[in-house]
Structures are given as structure tokens and as C-alpha cells.
Chains A and B, each alone.
Chain A
């Protein structure tokens, strides 16, 4: 058993380990160690709590730690890298759920003992309940959309915003009642929980599948803020600091995602983008796309000095990352250089494409961010676009009437030659026609990504 001061000091050490871990995530070389340092901090926090004089029974704790730990480990080991957004959504959800349960238990405990909570404890309890509940059900919906258990399309109904606003007003009223009148009936608290769970569902269903990266980042932030609120309730510095760290990280990632899509956060959250396919501002009438075949494309790649690959989510869906790496190896063996241009929203969550390519053993220093690679397209012999569409649509640069005008894109159209691998001429997520496909220097290579890439690899080998 340790004294309260020692306990607080050790929690402080854990906090410092979290911060150091985050700092080491700033470089791919130290990132893995950083994650381990952070995990060490968590282990320390758990051990300190076990040794705390406030802990008197151990059976429930031990059972909980074992069951939760085993489930977590199983999930982490078995999840496919393509399913990482779902995994993170799930983890956000259980984190928020945990904060919700702790806040609930604290509230019920106070009620039983008949003590009156001070205003600040009561306020943080209800905030913890609200944010924790929204994180739990919101993440569940995000998971279902990403897992395609439910439709990825935005679900909208008349008066949706009014319903949400009313619900929110009732939640605020209930919380205020519970804070001001400590003798308020218990059903008010249960109603607060129920309505908070409901509003979590209602907030996420009108958001389309393509916007899920932002939603996941935001829910990540909420799970942190919920933890911080729990920290206010149980007066724990380590919870407040860690919660605040995660809270700000989620907000920053959501902002980065929004910027990459040229949309405001409120537009993503309330704009119901993707409820119906957008109208294209220009039709493809009168325009003819040039097609090419595998043999021709292989020749161009084999003799190219500089190649930039623009991978889109279509590549990940086709599970063709390994074929891309083979192609990269072949071109490099012939003396060419291959780089990858990664758009921030190339995957289904921030940095998702980088993880998928790393899994295929493509070195991370070949993966370049939009700002770093864009000046290089003009000097590039061949740009190979695989399963990407809106992120290479020049209309974002040139056509003010286009719905994606102003969105930062990869300048694939500026390369000396551009080969676009695609299944067919269908429009992208945003439902917009892509001028790149009809460009002077563009050739379309139709077929599924995996099959076509395998054939390309075989052809380049023979050149």
C-alpha cells in the first residue's frame, strides 16, 4: 500500500510517459518505441491503482483486466489492415462507453450515500455521461457504416436538425435540473443517459461513408474529452491530462481531414454530403477517353526514368498493394525511380494508405505527402493512377463551378504521361465527372486493379 502523495507522483510519471510517447510518434524511426513508452505509462497507472489504499477488493478488477485485455489483444492481432478504420471506431466506442459507465457509477454512488455533489462535480458527471454516450453509439454507427453492415449513404429525414436540436435542449434541461435540484428523481438521470445514447446515433447517421475519416477523428477526440470529464469527477490529474491530450489530437486530425476535402467541419457534420449522387457540373458528352492496353503501358513503365504512383482506395479494396510493390521493384531494377503520392483522404482514415503500403513492404520514405510531391509531377515521365478519382480531378483547380473546386488535389494531369487504371468510366465518390480521363496525355487502362497489375508485372519482366 502506498500513500496518496506517492500515488499522485507515480501518476505524474505515467503522464510524463504518455507525453514522451506522443513526442516520439513525430518520427517513423522512434514511433514504435514511443508507443511502447506510452504503454509502459499505462501499465504503471494500472499498477499504482491496484496498490492504492482505496482499492479493497481485487476479484472484479482482476476479472475485468483479464477479459478486456484478452479481447483487446485478440482484436489487435486478428484485424486486417484494411479494416483499421472500423477497429479504431470500435476502440473509440468502448473508451467512451467506459467513461460513461464510470460517470454513471459515481453518480449513483453519490445518490445512495445521500451526499450532495458540488456543482462542478455534478456538471462534469453529466458532461461525462453525455460525451461518453455519444462516443459509444456514434462509434457503433460509424463502425456499422464502415463495415457495410448498414448503408454508407447519409440517412436524412425531414426536420432532422430540429429533432436533434430539441433532443439536445431536453438533455441540457435534464442536466440542469439534476445539478440545481440534487433531490431530482433518478429517472431524470436515466433519461439523460438514454437521450445521450440516442443523439449519438442521430448525429452520425446523416454523415456519408466518404466522410467517415472526419467522424472517426472527431469521435477519437470525444473519447479523450469523456476521459478528462471522468477525471474531473474522480479528481484525477492523470485522467484530465491524458484525456485532454487525446481530445486535442482528435480535433487536429479532423481539421486536417476537412482541409484536405476543402469542407468545413460543420459542412461535414451537418451537410448530409453523399445522400444522393451529386450532379456533375460538366458532362462527358463529346469527349473521348483514350484507352491503352497492358503491353503498351508496360513498355512506358519499363522505359520511364521517373514514375509516380497515385494509389486510391480502389487499390486497397482490390488488395493489390503487393502487386504494386512488385511493379516498383521491377522499375527500380531497370534504373527508374518510383515514388508514391499520398492524398490525405486516400484511405478511409488519416494515414490509412500509408499503413496499407507499409504492410506491402513499401519503404515509408517513398511515400510522399501532397505538398511534397506536387511540384514533381511536371518532371515525371509516367504517373500511374490506381483506383483514385476525385483526388486527381483537375476541375478542383480549374473549374469554379465544380462542387470540388478548391479541394487540394494531386497534379497527376501535369505529368508527361498519365495512365489511369480503373474498372470503368464511373464517377467517383463525389459523383463528379473527371476531366483527367479525357486529357491529352492520359490513357485509360480498364480492368480490376489486381489482375491488371499482375499482367503489367509479367509484361514489364519481359521487356
Chain B
């Protein structure tokens, strides 16, 4: 990675951290558990890296094994996270009529 590239990535990382903080700060406490499991699913994005390892022949046999386990782990995180979040959010209902 060239110096300029690296700085670009660091800029992206810092801006995304601030964006995340401002987004999460406004989530009401009642949704904190689904927020956490949903955010969790997003961190399963490492599946992209895992697929790059497993789908490439250069990494050798060990690479394929590591890549396979990495995909399984990341997919558990992705599918498990989104599915369980959906299951929880489905239960959140407003009072009938929408008022107290």
C-alpha cells in the first residue's frame, strides 16, 4: 500500500467511526439489543476477506482450510445476526390505536 493509499484508508476509518458514533447515539435504549445483534451481523463483513482467501489457489492447502473455517465463522455471524435481529424486531409492536 502506498503512503497516500494508507492515509486515505485511515481517513475513511476515522470518518466512519464518527459516523457510527452519531448514528448509534440516537438509537433508543429499547432497541439496544437488536442494535447490537444487527451491528454484529455487519461485522461479519470479514466474509469478503475470507472468500478472497478461500477462492484463491495461491494460498495453498492451509490457506484453503483457514479460508473455509473463516467463511463458516463469518457466515454464522452474518446469517445468525440478521435472522435473530429480525426475529426480535418482529416482536416490537405499538399499543393498539397507537396511543396510550
Q: Which residues of A contact B42 (CB under 8 A)?
A: 18, 21-22, 38, 42, 224, 242, 245-246
Find out whether the CB atom of B34 lies under 8 angstroms from the CB atom of A75. no
Query: What is the bound-complex CA distance between A255 and B75, given in angstroms?
Result: 29
Specify which of B29, B51, B77 is in contact with A91 (CB 8 Å cutoff): B77
Q: Which residues of A contact B29 (CB under 8 A)?
A: 256, 342, 344, 350-351, 354, 369
Find out whether the CB atom of A55 lies under 8 angstroms from the CB atom of B51. yes
Find out whether the CB atom of A235 lies under 8 angstroms from the CB atom of B5. yes
Q: Which residues of B contact A369 (CB under 8 A)?
A: 28-30
Find out whether the CB atom of A365 lies under 8 angstroms from the CB atom of B95. yes
Q: Which of B12-30 contact A (CB under 8 A)?
A: 12-14, 16-21, 23-30
Q: Mark B75-100, 1 if CB is under 8 A from A, else 0.
A: 11111111111111111111110101
How far apart are A36's CB and chain B's nearest CB, in angstroms? Answer: 7
A317 contacts the other chain (CB 8 A): no
Q: Which of A68-116 contact B (CB under 8 A)?
A: 68-69, 71-73, 75-77, 79, 81, 84, 87-88, 90-92, 94-95, 97-99, 101-102, 104-106, 108-109, 112-113
Q: Contacts A97-B73, A350-B33: A240 and B81 contacting too (C-beta < 8 A)?
A: no
Find out whether the CB atom of A101 lies under 8 angstroms from the CB atom of B73. yes
Find out whether the CB atom of A45 lies under 8 angstroms from the CB atom of B45. yes
Q: Contacts A25-B35, A358-B88: A69 and B75 contacting too (C-beta < 8 A)?
A: yes
Query: What is the bound-complex CA distance between A97 and B51, given in angstroms?
Result: 15
A223 contacts the other chain (CB 8 A): yes
Segment touching B, from A56-64, A148-156, A273-281, A383-391:
A56-64
Q: Contacts A25-B38, A237-B12, A358-B92: A105 and B83 contacting too (C-beta < 8 A)?
A: no
Specify which of B26, B36, B67 is in contact with A220 (CB 8 Å cutoff): B36
A216 contacts the other chain (CB 8 A): yes
Find out whether the CB atom of A60 lies under 8 angstroms from the CB atom of B34. no
Find out whether the CB atom of A98 lies under 8 angstroms from the CB atom of B86. no
Query: What is the bound-complex CA distance between A321 and B48, given in angstroms?
Result: 41
Specify which of A35, A57, A365 is in contact with B38 (CB 8 Å cutoff): A35
How far apart are B93's CB and chain A's nearest CB, in angstroms? Answer: 6
Find out whether the CB atom of B95 lies under 8 angstroms from the CB atom of A363. yes
Find out whether the CB atom of B55 lies under 8 angstroms from the CB atom of A57. yes
Q: Which residues of A contact B80 (CB under 8 A)?
A: 71-73, 75-76, 87, 90-91
Give the bracket for the number of chain A residues in contact with chain B. 35 or more
Interface centre among A29, A60, A250 (most CB of B within 10 A): A60
Chain B's closest residue to A118 (CB) is B1
Q: Which residues of B contact A113 (CB under 8 A)?
A: 58
Q: Tell me if A's interface is mostly helix, strand, loop or mixed.
A: helix
Find out whether the CB atom of B84 lies under 8 angstroms from the CB atom of A46. no
Find out whether the CB atom of A121 lies under 8 angstroms from the CB atom of B1. yes
Q: Which residues of A contact B85 (CB under 8 A)?
A: 35
Q: Which residues of B contact A249 (CB under 8 A)?
A: 20-21, 23-24, 35-36, 39
A238 contacts the other chain (CB 8 A): yes
Specify which of A121, A233, A241, A365 is in contact with B12 (CB 8 Å cutoff): A241
Query: What is the bound-complex CA distance between A231 and B86, given in angstroms?
Result: 27
Find out whether the CB atom of A50 lies under 8 angstroms from the CB atom of B51. yes
A330 contacts the other chain (CB 8 A): no
Q: Which residues of A contact B67 (CB under 8 A)?
A: 60, 64, 101-102, 105
Q: Which residues of A contact B51 (CB under 8 A)?
A: 46, 49-50, 55, 61, 64
Q: Which residues of A contact B30 (CB under 8 A)?
A: 28, 342, 351, 354, 364, 367, 369
Q: Mark A271-294, 1 if CB is under 8 A from B, else 0.
A: 000000000000000000000000
Query: What is the bound-complex CA distance between A247 and B24, given in angstroms?
Result: 11
Chain A's closest residue to B63 (CB) is A105
Interface centre among B20, B53, B82, B89 (most CB of A within 10 A): B20
Q: Mark B43-86, 1 if CB is under 8 A from A, else 0.
A: 11111111111111111101110111111111111111111111
A398 contacts the other chain (CB 8 A): no
Find out whether the CB atom of B17 lies under 8 angstroms from the CB atom of A248. yes
Query: What is the bound-complex CA distance between A3 and B77, given in angstroms?
Result: 29
A430 contacts the other chain (CB 8 A): no
Q: Which residues of B contact A252 (CB under 8 A)?
A: 21, 24-25
18 examples of A-B residue contacts, CB within 8 angstroms: A35-B82, A35-B85, A60-B64, A72-B77, A87-B80, A88-B37, A98-B46, A101-B53, A102-B49, A227-B44, A227-B45, A230-B49, A231-B9, A239-B49, A242-B16, A249-B24, A337-B100, A364-B94
A-B complex: 3 closest residue pairs judged by Cβ atoms: A68-B75, A64-B71, A351-B32
Known: A91-B77, A95-B44, A250-B39; 15 extra A-B contacts, CB below 8 A, are A35-B82, A57-B57, A64-B68, A76-B81, A87-B37, A88-B36, A240-B12, A244-B13, A249-B35, A253-B36, A256-B29, A347-B33, A351-B29, A351-B32, A354-B32
